[in-house]
């Protein structure tokens, strides 16, 4: 019961990219390739911000297990301030560096359309980080349904606004890919306002509002948030950065290959984000039981999360194989791209179990506040093993885009094995 609302909330983040890609694909292969490039770069910023925000949940879960309501109140204030500040900094940094996308040796027309789109996405980080602060606070208290409802509403709004802005409806001029960016920004502002209103005005949180003043800002609490959050961000950047760099390598092959990659990675991202919802639930359950010092229940919570993740991803892989020819046709009508994307979906299906195990492993380890070694594991698995294997297969052995994706399969499998072993070792040590 704890997992499914988190699953749907996590899904909300990636569905923005999925809907953008599907609706933009209807206006051409180049805009879809530009969406792929823009989202690949923006994803690095997104996961960095999300990683810091994720640290709020285990800290609050542990404090809730000890019934330390003063600490929970201070974490709400300082988590909100930290997230807002980080969101502003990420927007400024992203906007400053976006013109340098031209250095990535991508098709010129793809880059031209990607830059204004990605700048709007960078701006959307500010309201998104505010939403995350309130969401992670509520989820740390095991209140997960409200963020789910808000994510569903915001994604519905995003679809409507996409239709209006991309294609030029209700008197608006057609904006193409840029219209998808504006739709994303507006929907994320609404998400932040709704989640903030829930936390700040619901009676169940009244006990936590007494420290919501500037004089209670605490560098100690912000230090704890960033001390735990930055390694989580580092791990996520290592992982998602590998996928983003894979998109850049595929862009060297051409716009059609990049468009096919965007379709396949969209589908794989949906299942990944749903599995990361199970991982977030694992963080809450493991962190809460650790706070209670009930180490046997903590170990059971983590292990059951692994089982849930594997079962879900097995089903996802089978669905990918069954729909490998139909799913790409939802994005565009370029037959060459559709055929290429369908073959990539087979590789995506093969790495589903590994992807599920590694993301649940990261969530369970966050509940143990173990974040540094998992970050190192991600660095080695993706950047030392996965990407070099993909590069060699693609450019040296002429496997093309399939070689890059095989490298991702190898990296995910290495990460899954090492993270599962790490959780079993640490939880067994605590439960003795």
What pLDDT does 59 receive?
86
Tokens of 19: 């809907």
Task: Note the pLDDT tens digit of each residue in 203-251.
Answer: 888 877 777 777 778 788 788 888 888 888 887 888 888 888 898 899 8
What pLDDT does 427 receive?
87
* Maximum Cα interatomic distance, the chain, rounded to a whole number of Å: 67
How far is the C-alpha of 266 from the C-alpha of 245, rounded, in Å? Answer: 15
What pLDDT does 55 receive?
86
How far is the C-alpha of 381 from the C-alpha of 92, rounded, in Å? Answer: 31
Q: Confidence band (pLDDT; 50, 70, 90) for 290?
A: confident
Q: Of 374, 355, 378, whose CA–CA distance to 366 is shortest?
A: 374
Tokens of 338: 């559709």
**Can you say how many angstroms the Cα of residue 158 is from the centroid of all Cα atoms in its chain?**
18
Q: What is the CA radius of gyration of the chain?
A: 21
Task: Note the pLDDT tens digit of each residue in 36-89.
Answer: 888 888 988 988 998 899 888 888 887 887 778 888 888 888 999 999 999 999
Query: Would you say 290 and 298 are in contact if contact means Cβ atoms under 8 Å apart?
Result: yes
How far is the C-alpha of 305 from the C-alpha of 7, rounded, in Å? Answer: 12
Helix (H), strand (E), coil (C) string for the chain? CCHHHHHHHHHHHHHHHHHHHHHHHHHCHHHHHHHHHHHHHHHHHHHHHHHHHHCHHHHHHHHHHCCCHHHHHHHHHHHHHHHHHHHHHHHHHHHHHHHHHHHHCCCHHHHHHHHHHHHHHHHCHHHHHHHHHHHHHHHHCCCCHHHHHHHHHHHHHHHHHHHHHHHCCCCCCCCCHHHHHHHHHHHHHHHHHHHHHHHHHCHHHHHHCCCCCHHHCCHHHHHHHHHHHHHHHHHHHHHHHHHHHHHHHHHCCCHHHHHHHHHHHHHHHHHHHHHHHHHHHHHHHHHHHHHCCCHHHHHHHHHHHHHHHHHHHHHHHHHHHHCCCCHHHHCCCCHHHHHHHHHHHHHHHHCHHHHHHHHHHHHHHHHCCCCHHHHHHHHHHHHHHHHHHHHHHHHHCCCCHHHHHHHHHHHHHHHHHHHHHHHHHHHHHHHC
User: CB count, 10 Å around CB of 82?
Assistant: 24
Q: What are phi and psi of 117, to 5 degrees?
A: -65, -45
Q: Of 111, 9, 113, 94, whose CA–CA distance to 44 is shortest?
A: 94
The angle subtended at Cα 280 by Cα 412 and Cα 323, nearest 5°, is: 55
What pLDDT does 31 receive?
87
Q: Of 410, 414, 381, whose CA–CA distance to 394 is shortest?
A: 410
What pLDDT does 316 receive?
93
Mean pLDDT (the chain, rounded): 88
What pLDDT does 432 receive?
65
What pLDDT does 281 receive?
82
The angle subtended at Cα 285 by Cα 281 and Cα 288, nearest 5°, is: 135
**pLDDT exceeding 90 applies to what percent of the chain?**
43
Q: Is the pTM of this model over 0.85?
A: no
Q: What are phi and psi of 2, to 5 degrees?
A: -75, -35
- Which of 134-143, 227-236, 286-295, 305-314 is the most confident on average? 305-314
Residue 380, burial from CB neighbour count under 10 angstroms (0-12, 13-18, 19+) = middle
Q: Of 221, 202, 220, 177, whose CA–CA distance to 80 is shortest?
A: 221
What pLDDT does 205 receive?
84
How far is the C-alpha of 215 from the C-alpha of 227, rounded, in Å? Answer: 22
Mean pLDDT computed over 188-197: 95
């Amino acid at each position: 019961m704890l997992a499914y609302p988190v699953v749907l909330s996590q899904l909300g983040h990636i569905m923005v990219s999925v809907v953008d890609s599907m609706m933009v694909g209807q206006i051409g292969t180049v805009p879809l390739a530009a969406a792929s490039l823009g989202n690949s770069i923006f994803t690095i910023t997104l996961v960095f911000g999300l990683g810091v925000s994720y640290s709020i949940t285990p800290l609050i879960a542990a404090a809730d297990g000890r019934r330390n309501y003063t600490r929970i109140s201070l974490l709400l204030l300082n988590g909100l301030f930290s997230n807002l500040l980080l969101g502003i900094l990420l927007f400024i940094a992203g906007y400053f560096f976006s013109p340098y996308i031209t250095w990535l040796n991508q098709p010129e027309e793809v880059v031209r359309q990607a830059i204004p789109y990605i700048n709007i996405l960078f701006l959307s980080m500010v309201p998104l980080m505010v939403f995350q602060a309130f969401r992670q606070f509520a989820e740390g208290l095991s209140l997960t349904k409200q963020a789910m409802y808000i994510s569903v509403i915001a994604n519905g709004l995003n679809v409507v606004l996409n239709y209006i802005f991309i294609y030029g409806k209700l008197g608006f001029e057609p904006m193409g890919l840029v219209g998808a960016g504006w739709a994303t920004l507006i929907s994320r502002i609404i998400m932040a306002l709704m989640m903030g209103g829930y936390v700040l005005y619901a009676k169940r949180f009244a006990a936590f509002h007494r420290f919501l003043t500037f004089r209670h800002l605490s560098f100690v609490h912000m230090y704890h948030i960033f001390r735990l959050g930055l390694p989580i961000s580092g791990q996520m950047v290592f992982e998602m950065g590998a996928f983003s760099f894979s998109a850049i390598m595929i862009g060297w092959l051409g716009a059609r290959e990049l468009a096919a990659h965007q379709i396949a990675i969209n589908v794989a991202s949906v299942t990944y984000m749903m599995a990361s919802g199970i991982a977030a639930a694992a963080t809450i359950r493991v962190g809460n039981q650790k706070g209670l010092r009930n180490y046997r229940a903590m170990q059971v919570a983590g292990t059951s999360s692994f089982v849930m993740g594997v079962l879900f991803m097995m089903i996802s892989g089978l669905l990918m194989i069954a729909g490998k020819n139909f799913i790409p046709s939802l994005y565009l009508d370029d037959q060459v791209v559709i055929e290429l994307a369908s073959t990539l979906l087979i590789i995506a299906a093969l790495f589903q179990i590994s992807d599920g195990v590694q993301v649940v492993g990261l969530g369970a380890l966050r509940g143990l506040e173990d974040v540094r070694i998992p970050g190192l594991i991600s660095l080695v698995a993706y950047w030392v093993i996965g990407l070099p294997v993909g590069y060699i297969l693609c450019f040296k052995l002429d496997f093309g885009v399939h070689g890059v994706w095989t490298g991702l399969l190898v990296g995910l499998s290495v990460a899954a094995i090492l993270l599962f072993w790490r959780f079993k070792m640490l939880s067994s040590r605590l439960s003795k």
